[in-house]
Amino acid sequence: MNALLLWTALFASPLLELTQGREQILLDTRTALSDLGWTKSQGSEWMEVTGDDENQNERRMLFVCQITQPNQNNWLRTQYIRVDGARRIYVEVQFTMRSCEDVPNVATCKETFNLYYYETDRDEATSTFPPWGEGAYVKVDTIAADQRFRPGSDKVVNFERRNIGPISKNGIYLAIQDTGACVAIMHVKVYYKYCGETLKNLASFSRTISGPQVTDLVKTRGSCVRNAITEDGQYPIYHCGGIGNWTVPTGTCFCTAGYEPNYSRTQCNACARNRYKSVVKNVACRRCPAYSSSSNRGATVCDCMNGYFRAHEDTADQPCTKPPTKVVNLYAAVNQSTSVTLKWERPLNEGGRTDLTYSIECFQCQPGFVDCTPCTERADYEPQKTGLVATHVTVKNLRLFAFYKFKVIATNGVTDIAAASGQQLYNFALVNVERNQAAPSPVLNVRSSEIDATSVLIRWDAPTLINGHILDYEVTAQHSKTRMSSFKTNRTSNRYWRIVGLEPSNDYLIKVRARTMAGFGPYSVPIKVKTLNKSTTTVAINSTAGSGPDYLLFVAIGGGILFVVAIVIVIVIFRRRRRRTVKSKKLKSDKSMYNGVSVTFNSSFQSNHKTYIDPTTYEDPQRAVSEFTKEIDATYIKIEQVIGAGEFGEVCRGRLQLPNKPESDVAIKTLKTGYSTQQKLDFLGEASIMGQFDHPNVIRLEGVVTKSRPLMIITEFMENGSLDAFLRNHDNGFTVIQLVGILRNIAAGMKYLSDMGYVHRDLAARNILVNAQLICKVSDFGMSRVLEEDSDAAYTARCGKIPIRWTAPEAFTYRKFTSASDVWSYGIVMWEVMSYGERPYWGMSNRDVMNAVETGYRLPAPMDCPQVQHKLMLDCWKKDRNQRPKFGQIVSSLDKMLRDPSQLKAKANEEGSRPVVPLVTSNGDNEPRHTELDVWLERRGFSQFKDNFIRNGCNCVEQIQQLTHSDLDRMGITSAEDQDVLLSAIQS
């Protein structure tokens, strides 16, 4: 074949370029200005030529085509490539490949070439070192052409990308081996991915190289931007993903006082004039409060205008205020011989404050209210002289026939500050009082008589000093213990009064005072009166009106009634105590201990039944979110740690601090950026489902974040994670009664969901969460996710994915999901729990599981599984869904096991704890049937390897015939002799 024509055919196709994320290019042959200078092995037929790309630009390219010569081994190696600290690099190759069909005079023809690399800390390669061969170089992959060309056909370019890592040296050499292909290497590009410098959460993050694994998140600590600081030394964290993308920011810096964050939270800007910020928080600057202003940018507090002030305890957020004006309508009421009451109304202008108080100053004057001086006698002020809140005060112990002037001063929190600044105050009012009247003296000889259960007759003598004509008397009765004023206050012109409406068997203090035109005189000395009880009153009446025998009869009847009442009270108290004792014992029996921690069964929970509403029935899905969930402000949430990745985005652990509530641990599901509308609906739909549930064995939704990004679902945090992993980590670490308690938790949660009309469809141990108290809760209420990482995990039906190993036959055959199909899944969960998280059906494929279940096969009892437990599993796996137990019946069965543990002692038959093949017969009984695989193994004496094949998915002879030495190693058949015998038999 003409070499020039071949070269033209190989290179005459357009280039293809594909990049993702931020890339740092380490090698790019398109930028070469002269020979590439790559090293060839001795005798290598690789050729370097110059050709034109699709834009008619000259490029250096490499090709080889020795298909007419046998035994080709052409090696080509790049120059030393420094990786700049990267631990994973990417190699992109563009090439064209000649088809081996219709090639004349061919000696060897392949449509692939091999890619290798060699790690080293320095540039040390020569023409002979490292040795040309797979022993020295690490093979990356065999590169095959997806598209090849024939003579006369259009030339197409292949594009392949491979990644190499983790890399532990400073650099690498790439090597290409040709073993007999007609290939042209048009372009080689080597690069690594990194996250570029960025600003986030008021912090700057430096350039960060992605991790050695594609799934790694490299944690990078940020530095606060100018005018921002951290809180308690907790710096913001950003994670660099494997494709060179920043993700999962946690923590933030805070703008200092006088500065506010911009919209994107990348810098702190100074507050504008007449705006301020006094706290270190990420909040916007606020307009200056009333009667204040700021003339400079970056103000932390606004200055008060002239005549306005702030009190020392006022914050910068409060408006400036002024002292109050004087009180209005001040007047004095002279109502006793030695006292005066001052009353007034609040000032017309209180200065804009709420801490208004009053103080009183007393002045004694000469007749005509002249030559006033401060009062020297010790007067009593009720309630007090200074710090008054009420608008009245009574001044006692004043002299008679004297002249007084009283000043009432109104003050607030800035009065003293205003006075100190030299401002003149007008905050007081004056009133004149002339003490030229006299009230009567106290009444005398107050006494009681005719006392019964509800009334008493009071008599008294007139005062010695009347000072005029007595208008009337006031009689007041007060309860002697509480000292509260009684409603029994009356006036009379007589010197006696019967006080009625009193309570039996109570002590009262009774006092009397007289009133003249000058006002009330002082009260008399109180007397103490005790009312009689009702029985005593009855006796007194009867003893006055009747004879002795009647009295004895009433006493006897009353005593008998009291005796009967006492007996009834004793019986009621005894029964209540007995009920509490039984309930306490029942609650104690519903707990089991694991390493000092109780496994709680929540047997006493009473659900408020309601019907589940499918969020997809809402025309507007956002309405379901608002109806069934609670919106949480994102500022109340602090993400602390990334603990996993879900279908929608990252799953994090964090803290939730709601106002007036203690801080709590929460799990946070986030919706990744770039989500589709359907992904958002599925994400929020799961929250709308969870928000309808309220049960101690169902995961609790704390709320959602939908008004900011990223969207979040906040749930309670379950410290011990998923049940399957938890059981595997504590293999054989529980008693049987504890395992039954775990199953009881799950059954109670499913009973609650079933009663609400909700069908879970994905009940499995991986979807049960365990908290620190070992309480198990049903979770994961969305079926749109990928159920497991491996492609064999779910059988794909027309309407979605189904977890075959946990699914009832009518569900994976006819997509008939009901509470009965959840019962089938619960039986599989029982098997998982009793086997400590073992995989159901072990290594059988999904298709084999479906066939086996349809033909009658059921999982055998796990090791040490109680017979009654396996019987309950088999009841859950009955083919007729109407014959399966309801969840309420399952809860009752488990309760009986917990209350009578003796029935758990009988163990199920341990034979066949691992299935070998689906066990079926033509007549439908449970006798085992030999398969073609059984016969083939038995004839060759290989029956001992049967379990190895079954566990690794080899269920037929055709699969075994494809095995190699390395395959047998992975299956656990490591003996070289056994491998040779098996492979010899397979080949024969």
174: nearest Cα among 39, 22, 341, 46 = 39
What does the alpha-carbon distance between residue 194 and residue 246 come to, in Å, rounded to a whole number? 9
Same domain, 819 and 951: no
Cα 717 to its chain centre, rounded Å, is: 6
CB-based burial, 673-707: b 16+ in 10 Å, e otherwise: eebeeebbbbbbbbbbbbbbbebbbbbbbbbbbbe
Whether the Cβ atoms of residue 293 and residue 306 lie closer than 8 Å to each other: no
Place of tokens 């083919």: 879
At position 859, the amino acid (one-letter code) is L
DSSP letter at 611 equals -
Question: Is residue 456 located within the same domain as residue 384?
Answer: no
- The Cα–Cα gap between 965 and 973 comes to 9
Which residue is listed with tokens 């995961």? 699
Whether 698 and 820 map to the same domain: the answer is no
Please check whether residues 511 and 457 belong to one and the same domain.
Answer: yes
Q: Given the structure tokens 């899944």, which residue do they identify?
A: 825
286 touches 276 (CB < 8 A): yes
Decide which of 231, 255, 279 is a domain's last residue.
Answer: 255
Residue 428 forms part of a structural domain = yes
Alpha helices in 512-547 (DSSP H): 534-545
CA dist 459 and 499 (Å) reads: 11
Pairing of strands 712-716, 664-670: antiparallel
Cβ atoms of residues 33 and 191 within 8 Å? no
Q: How far apart are CA 871 and CA 903, in angstroms?
A: 12
Answer yes or no: is 527 within a domain: yes
25-56: buried (b, 16+ CB within 10 Å) or exposed (e) per residue? ebbebbebeeebebbbbeebbbebeebebeee
Peptide bond into 710 cis (omega under 30): yes
Which residue, among 798, 801, 807, has the nearest Cα to 850 in the 3D structure? 807
Q: What is the pLDDT of residue 951?
A: 66
Instruction: Count the residues in the chain.
Output: 988
Partners of 50 in the β-ladder: 60
Query: Phi/psi of residue 907, each to 5°?
Result: -90, 145
Known binding-site residues for ATP equal: 643-651, 669
Distance CA 633, CA 635 (A): 5
d(CA 113, CA 111): 7
The domain total for the chain is: 8
Which 3-state string (H, E, C) describes 741-779?
A: HHHHHHHHHHHHHHHCCCCCCCCCHHHEEECCCCCEEEC
State how far the Cα of 820 lies from the Cα of 826, in Å rounded to an integer. 10
Looking at residue 660, its pLDDT comes to 87
Tokens of 594: 């694991």
| Binding-site residues from annotation | 643-651, 669
Instruction: Count other C-beta atoms under 10 Å from residue 445's C-beta.
Output: 10
**Range of 347's domain?**
328-435
Q: Give the CA distances from residue 754 to residues 614, 661, 672, 698, 742, in Å, rounded to whole numbers and listed in that order.
A: 14, 33, 32, 12, 19
For residue 228, count CB atoms less than 10 angstroms from its CB and return exposed for 0-12, middle for 13-18, buried for 19 or more: buried
| Residue 814: inside a domain | yes
In 10 A of CB 339, how many CB atoms?
21
Q: How far is the C-alpha of 472 from the C-alpha of 588, rounded, in Å?
A: 72
Q: Please, is 354 exposed, middle or buried when counting C-beta atoms within 10 Å of its C-beta (0-12, 13-18, 19+)?
A: exposed
For the purposes of burial, counting CB atoms within 10 Å of the CB of 894, is it exposed (0-12), middle (13-18) or buried (19 or more)?
Answer: buried
Evaluate whether residue 271 is within a structural domain.
no
Q: Answer whether 667's CB lies under 8 Å from 716's CB.
A: yes
Are 188 and 205 part of one and the same domain?
no
Reference 707, options 782, 648, 635, 624; nearest CA is 635
**Domain co-membership, 820 together with 948:** no
- The whole-angstrom separation of Cα 844 and Cα 915 is 9
Q: Is residue 586 part of a domain?
A: no
Per-residue CA distances from 925 to 199, 852, 877 (Å): 70, 14, 16
From the number of C-beta atoms within 10 Å of its C-beta (0-12, 13-18, 19+), residue 637 rates as: buried
The predicted pLDDT at position 413 comes to 93
* 927 falls within a domain: no
Element containing residue 85 per DSSP (H, E): none
Report yes or no on 785 lying in a domain. yes
37 and 85 share one domain:
yes
Residue type present at position 261: P
Choosing from 540, 555, 589, the residue where a domain stops is 540
Dihedrals φ, ψ of 694, to 5°? -150, 90
- How many Å apart are CA 696 and CA 685, to the nearest integer? 22
For residues 493 and 237, give the distance between their C-alpha atoms in angstroms, rounded to a whole number. Answer: 87
Domain finish residue from 255, 281, 300: 255
Catalytic residue list? 762
pLDDT of residue 811: 92
pLDDT beneath 50, residues of the chain: 1-20, 484-486, 537-555, 580-598, 603-604, 784-800, 911-930
Q: Are residues 887 and 842 in the same domain?
A: yes
Is residue 845 domain-resident? yes
The answer on 869 and 815 residing in a single domain is yes
Q: Element (H or E) spanning 810, and its range? A: helix 809-814
Q: Please state, in angstroms and rounded to a whole number, the distance separating the CA atoms of residues 431 and 404.
A: 8
Residue 280 burial class via C-beta count within 10 angstroms: exposed 0-12, middle 13-18, buried 19 and up: middle
Q: Are residues 13 and 120 in the same domain?
A: yes
Whole-number Å distance between alpha carbons of 338 and 197: 85
Is the N-terminal amide bond of 549 cis, ω within 30° of 0? no
Assess contact for 240 and 194: CB atoms under 8 A. yes
Other C-beta atoms closer than 10 Å to the C-beta of 121 total 9
- Looking up residue 509, the CATH number of its domain turns out to be 2.60.40.10
Which CATH number characterizes residue 958's domain? Answer: 1.10.150.50
Asked if residue 114 and residue 34 are part of one domain, the reply reads: yes
Q: How far apart are CA 329 and CA 339, in angstroms?
A: 20
Asked whether residue 529 falls in the same domain as residue 568, the answer is no
CATH of the domain at 115: 2.60.120.260
Q: Please answer whether residues 677 and 671 qualify as being in contact, where contact means their C-beta atoms are separated by less than 8 angstroms.
A: no
